[in-house]
């Protein structure tokens, strides 16, 4: 596992159940005590989409003891739950039913709470600290139960209930380096051989505008490097991970024991660090290739005690099948809702609802271009027209159930007339033919009066089916996979 040429990651996702929390940790940027509680109906809709897109796990996130607040108590009653932990239990089961491993980031849990969560397939994320930090202006001045002793107790309690857990070391919040390294050594002796411990990570502090420690600078490379070295020594057989945004800065940490990027929420972004760009598989692979390292996707579970739980058998079989086939694929096509044309998470996307504009093997949508998409004054840029045609033809090929993952091999566009700015245009495309995994389509851009402004013919290559059940064919080699991919 400790191979400097190989780095693993989990294709993950995150869902915020509620930001309400009865603590106020100085490093946290998630707490919002007016935050509502997500209904299980809405949760199921979110999880179904994340599962359909391919997520292996979902981190279900909340504040600690949110039920201390009246509006959460009212919501629990409306949803039919007697406690927040009954709600969490059902949330985990909803994740399992959607073929994802549920990971709980909900603070420290006592024994009665963990009893409710047994046999739900859950993994608990436990973050530990190296010093008390309870003085004036310190990280836990306004928080309770955030001490090294409380962290150790949380580990003991999770172990007693035989629930798998992931261990995170909160770093850079004001502890001294000697305190940090000593805590890592002590916890390595304490739980390094625990069969329920899945992986170890640096829960790295990064100042955010709305956290109490926003003026504290993050740790520099040398401090992070010494932390990684200490973790590798204390946990010699475990995955050692750092946040993806930190890896982008310091890929050299692989030389010092880093072998994992942990749970990378490619589909949703990171709840705690929403301002940071979340790298995709291709981003991370490219970064690693520069230092001659290999990236591969791994299962969320790593030990027999976690893997052999009967309640997760069906879910884990589906998850492992997805992972195996993605690792075999020559290119990673992942829809993280960031597409320039249709992506709702992309703040500068055109937000055209292409996924709901499909009828059989045709795709038709209308759009009104604004002045920031022009070339000459009042004329829509031809590159935007080409993009719209490419998108429409791609979705016509994928069909209403979006069952195909394709890339554009070749596209020819004829610009017949200028497309005016500020006036609606219609883009329509249909499939025109297929030869094995090579699919052909035609598209047109039409003005309000029916004038054809541009026409296109496209040649697309099907890489794999959306359910990943089809391996690449002999005509679909890595050399053939070029051009634009369609989300």
**Structural domain boundaries in the chain:** 6-328, 354-480
* Rounded CA separation 81/73 (Å): 9
Distances (CA, A) of 408 to 100, 391, 393: 31, 10, 10
DSSP class per residue in 291-346: TT-EEEE--S--SHHHHT-GGGHHHHHHHHHHHHHHHHSSS-----S--TTT-SS-
Contact assessment for residue 475 and residue 436, using Cβ atoms and an 8 Å cutoff: yes
Q: Are strands 197-204 and 165-171 parallel, antiparallel or unpaired?
A: parallel
Q: What CATH number matches the domain at 354-480, 3.10.129.10, 3.30.420.10, 3.40.50.620, 2.30.38.10? A: 3.10.129.10
Distances (CA, A) of 271 to 45, 292, 298: 18, 31, 22
pLDDT of 287 reads 81
* Rounded CA separation 362/428 (Å): 7
485 torsion bin: left (phi>0), alpha (psi -120 to 50), beta (else)? beta
pLDDT of 72 reads 96
* Rounded CA separation 2/392 (Å): 46
**pLDDT tens by residue, 97-134:** 999 999 999 999 999 999 999 999 999 999 999 999 88
Contact assessment for residue 459 and residue 442, using Cβ atoms and an 8 Å cutoff: no
Contact assessment for residue 466 and residue 480, using Cβ atoms and an 8 Å cutoff: no
Alpha helix ranges (H) inside 130-280? 148-160, 177-191, 221-234, 244-249
- Taking residue 337's Cβ as centre, other Cβ atoms within 10 Å add up to 18
pLDDT of 336 reads 83
Q: What CATH number matches the domain at 6-328, 3.20.20.70, 3.40.190.10, 1.25.40.10, 3.30.1050.10? A: 3.20.20.70
pLDDT of 476 reads 37
**pLDDT tens by residue, 15-32:** 999 999 988 888 888 888
Q: Please list the rounded mean pLDDT of every run of 10 residues in the chain (487 residues).
A: 70 96 87 93 96 94 94 96 96 97 95 94 96 88 86 96 96 94 97 97 86 87 94 96 79 89 90 76 82 90 97 96 86 83 90 92 95 94 97 94 87 96 96 94 96 97 60 37 49
Query: What is the CA 336 to chain-centroid distance, rounded?
Result: 8
- For the record, the structure tokens of 28 come out as 């946290």
Q: Is 209 exposed, middle or buried (0-12, 13-18, 19+ CB in 10 A)?
A: exposed
Q: Is 121 exposed, middle or buried (0-12, 13-18, 19+ CB in 10 A)?
A: buried
pLDDT of 341 reads 94
pLDDT of 485 reads 54
pLDDT of 278 reads 76
């Amino acid at each position: 596992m400790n191979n400097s040429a190989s780095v693993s990651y989990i294709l993950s996702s995150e869902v915020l159940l509620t930001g309400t929390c009865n603590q106020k940790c100085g490093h946290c940027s998630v707490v919002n005590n007016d935050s509502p509680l997500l209904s299980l109906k809405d949760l199921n809709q979110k999880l179904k989409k994340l599962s359909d897109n391919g997520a292996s796990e979902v981190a279900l996130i909340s504040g600690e003891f949110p039920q201390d607040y009246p509006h959460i108590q009212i919501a629990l009653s409306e949803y039919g739950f007697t406690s927040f932990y009954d709600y969490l239990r059902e949330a985990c089961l909803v994740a399992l039913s959607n073929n994802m491993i549920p990971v709980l980031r909900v603070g420290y849990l006592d024994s009665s709470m963990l009893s409710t969560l047994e046999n739900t397939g859950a993994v608990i994320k436990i973050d530990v600290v190296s010093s008390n930090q309870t003085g004036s202006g310190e990280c836990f001045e306004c928080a309770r139960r955030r001490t090294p002793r409380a962290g150790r107790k949380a580990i003991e309690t999770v172990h007693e209930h035989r629930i798998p857990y992931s261990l995170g070391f909160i770093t850079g919040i004001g502890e001294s380096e000697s305190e940090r390294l000593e805590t890592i050594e002590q916890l390595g002796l304490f739980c390094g051989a625990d069969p329920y411990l899945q992986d170890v990570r640096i829960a790295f502090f990064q100042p955010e505008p709305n956290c109490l420690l926003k003026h504290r600078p993050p740790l520099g490379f040398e401090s992070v490097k010494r932390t990684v070295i200490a973790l590798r020594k204390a946990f010699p057989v475990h995955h050692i991970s750092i946040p993806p945004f930190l890896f982008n800065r310091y890929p050299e940490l692989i030389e010092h024991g880093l072998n994992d990027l942990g749970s990378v929420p490619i589909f949703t972004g990171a709840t705690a660090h929403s301002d940071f760009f979340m790298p995709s598989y291709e981003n991370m692979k490219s970064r690693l290739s520069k230092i001659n390292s290999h990236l591969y996707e791994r299962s969320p579970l790593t030990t027999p005690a976690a893997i052999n739980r009967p309640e997760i058998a069906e879910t884990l079989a589906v998850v492992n099948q997805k992972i195996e086939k993605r690792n075999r694929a020559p290119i990673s096509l992942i829809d993280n809702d960031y597409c320039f044309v249709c992506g709702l998470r992309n703040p500068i996307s055109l937000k055209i609802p292409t996924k709901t504009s499909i009828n059989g093997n045709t795709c038709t949508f209308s759009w009104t271009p604004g002045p920031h998409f022009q070339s000459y004054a009042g004329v829509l840029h031809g590159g935007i027209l080409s993009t719209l045609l490419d998108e429409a033809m791609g979705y016509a090929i994928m069909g209403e159930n979006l069952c195909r993952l394709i890339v554009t091999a070749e596209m020819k566009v004829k610009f017949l007339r200028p497309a005016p700015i500020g006036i609606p245009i219609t883009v329509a495309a249909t499939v025109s033919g297929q030869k094995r995994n090579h699919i052909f389509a035609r598209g047109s851009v039409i003005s309000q009066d029916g004038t054809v402004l541009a026409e296109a013919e496209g040649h697309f290559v099907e890489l794999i089916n959306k359910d990943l059940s089809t391996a690449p064919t002999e005509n679909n080699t890595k050399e053939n996979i070029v051009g634009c991919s369609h989300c």
